[in-house]
Structure 1
Amino acid sequence: MANNISKVAVLGAGVMGSSIAAHFAGTGCKVILMDMVPSELTEDEKLKGLSIEDALIRNKFAMMGKNSILNP
Structure 2
Amino acid sequence: MSKENHNKKIVGREKTIGVGVSIGVVVGAVIGQLSGDVGLWISICIAIGAGIGATTSDRRSAKSDDTGSE
Specify the structure having the higher radius of gyration (Cα): 1
Q: Answer 1 or 2: which has greater strand percent.
A: 1
Higher relative contact order structure (alpha carbons within 8 Å, sequence separation ≥ 6): 2
User: Which structure: greater helix fraction?
Assistant: 2
Please give the TM-score of this superposition, normalised by the length of structure 1. Answer: 0.29
